Amino acid sequence: MDVMWAPWRMKYIGSDKPAGCIFCEKSAAGSDPANHIVWRGRQAFVLLNTFPYNNGHLMVAPYQHAGNLEDLAPDVLTELMMLCQDAIRALKRDFKPDGVNMGINLGSAAGAGVKDHLHIHVVPRWQGDTNFMAVVTDTRVIPQSLDDSYRILHAAFKALRG
């Protein structure tokens, strides 16, 4: 069995959480580049994870503040999945991962850092993308800035959906 260790995320997990909802606040804010919102659909949007496992780690979220999958209307679910498809297409096009992890954590017991606003993680993975830094120094090396990832992925979404 392979195990994915992410000890560098303990700082995020153990930190005080913002009072509001990051997905509601970011989607309502005026600057998509500053908030790393890669694409906006009618009922959902795509943004970069500020605490990524890998460069290009995306999240797809509905504008609706809902923590339960069963609370979303079929058209919202459809757009979420279509944006996930485009996220994978964009990552394959420009990041060329060997694979992609995609998942939803429903509730805090399932690992949801933001349990009241459903979101889907889309994480590019490469063969050997873990290295000695995480094991020896409790440090994760992300080889690309969020701003660079944003520029690349925004252009990819524009090409796919624009």
Show Cβ contacts of residue 37 under 8 Å, excluding neighbours closer than 6 positions. Answer: 26, 27, 45, 46, 47
* pLDDT band at 140; cut points 50, 70, 90: low
* Between 121 and 8, residue with greater pLDDT: 121
The yes-or-no verdict on residue 139 having pLDDT over 60 is no
Query: Quick one: which of 153, 145, 158 has its CA closest to 93?
Result: 153
The yes-or-no verdict on residue 150 having pLDDT over 70 is yes
* Between 134 and 56, residue with greater pLDDT: 56
Give the Cα separation of 154 and 150 in Å (integer).
6
The reported pLDDT for the residue numbered 47 is: 97
Active site amino acids? 119
* pLDDT band at 5; cut points 50, 70, 90: low
The yes-or-no verdict on residue 142 having pLDDT over 60 is yes
Q: Is residue 111 a contact partner of residue 105, using CB atoms and an 8 Å limit?
A: yes
The kind and range of the H/E element at 48 are strand 44-48
Domains of the chain: 18-161 (3.30.428.10)
Show Cβ contacts of residue 133 under 8 Å, excluding neighbours closer than 6 positions. Answer: 139, 140, 141
Which pLDDT tens digit goes with each residue over 29-72? 989 999 999 999 999 999 999 888 888 999 999 999 999 999 99
